[in-house]
Amino acid sequence: MSVFIPDLLAGKTTFVTGGSSGICLAIAERFAAHGARLMLLGRKQEKLDAAVAGIRAAGGTAESVSADVRDYAAMEAAFARCAELLGPVDILICGAAGNFPAPVNGMSANGFKAVVDIDLLGTFNTCRAAYPHLRKPGASVLSISANHAHQPYAFQSHVCAAKAGVDLLTKTLALEWGPDGIRANIIYPGPIDGTEGMRRLAPSEEARRAVIANTPVGRLGTGEDVANLALFLASEAASYITGSVFACDGGSGLMGARSFQAAFEQAPKER
């Protein structure tokens, strides 16, 4: 089902990291349909070009900038470009993330660092570089985290450590930036169909079926499911909500580590 309130986000500049594909592109497309003006950030210009073309073809406004969230100077330059093209940022979505299934003993220090740097340092860099450009009061930050922030999952030590950090960083922003009129909230998408995350964590039909079997509502989620929640949280309807965590996971988080266990059992044990 799709919620549609025309002009809900009319004229709102929305900056989305990881916005060229998957969940964050679904959010960007939905926001554009509700009148927001999108700036998509990702590492690969060709993916960004395709995403921007899709939003424009649907009648929306979108621009893109290619950068790595691990590079602070590049993030400062990206926000300067956004200011030039679209003005102050009303909504900031921190969605760039990395993942691969590997046990601690099958992961190098650099592998662990890569994911922590993209997810946690990347969220810090994004928010820190965004601050001078956020429209105050009224801006809203959404961090795309995961149930991993409080539930240990085998073969996901890097993601668990990173997402725990993302949650507390986001809640700290809610505290520090609340007086400026900036809200900051956290979304936990569950298993979402068609995403890079699902391709990596449940690459076979068998693993996919096991994930569905451990999702109480009995299906994978869609990008639109997460976009509906993001739309609410970024809108004025959520103006008294900050520092809070919202799962959009069909209840899979309630199943704890079981929800992805079968998928992880197929991951390589050594590297």
Smallest distance from ligand COA to CB 43, Å:
8
- Give me the phi and psi of 185, to 5 degrees please: -130, 170
Binding mask 80-109 for ligand COA (x = CB under 6 A): -----------------xxxx-x---xxx-
Task: Check: CB of residue 165 under 8 Å from CB of residue 113.
Answer: no
Smallest distance from ligand COA to CB 98, Å:
3
Nearer to ligand COA, 102 or 130 (CB): 102
Answer yes or no whether residue 253 interacts with ligand COA by CB under 6 A: no
Smallest distance from ligand COA to CB 21, Å:
9
Smallest distance from ligand COA to CB 79, Å:
22
Binding mask 148-187 for ligand COA (x = CB under 6 A): ----------------------------------------
Answer positive or negative: Cα dihedral of 198, 95, 34, 61.
negative
What's the rounded Cα separation, in Å, for the pair 34 and 158?
Answer: 35
Residue 149: C-alpha distances to residues 43, 49, 50, 131 (Å): 25, 32, 32, 24
Size (the chain), residues:
271
Among 196, 245, 256, 258, binds ligand COA (CB under 6 A): 196
Answer yes or no whether residue 271 interacts with ligand COA by CB under 6 A: yes
What's the rounded Cα separation, in Å, for the pair 225 and 209?
Answer: 20
Nearer to ligand COA, 68 or 235 (CB): 68
What's the rounded Cα separation, in Å, for the pair 55 and 92?
Answer: 18
> In the range 104-143, which residues lie near ligand COA by CB under 6 A?
106-108, 110-111, 114-115, 118
Nearer to ligand COA, 71 or 76 (CB): 71
What's the rounded Cα separation, in Å, for the pair 11 and 32?
Answer: 9
Residues in contact with 107: Cβ distance below 8 Å, sequence separation at least 6, in sequence order: 157, 158, 271
Residues near ligand COA (CB under 6 A) are 97-100, 102, 106-108, 110-111, 114-115, 118, 196-197, 200, 271
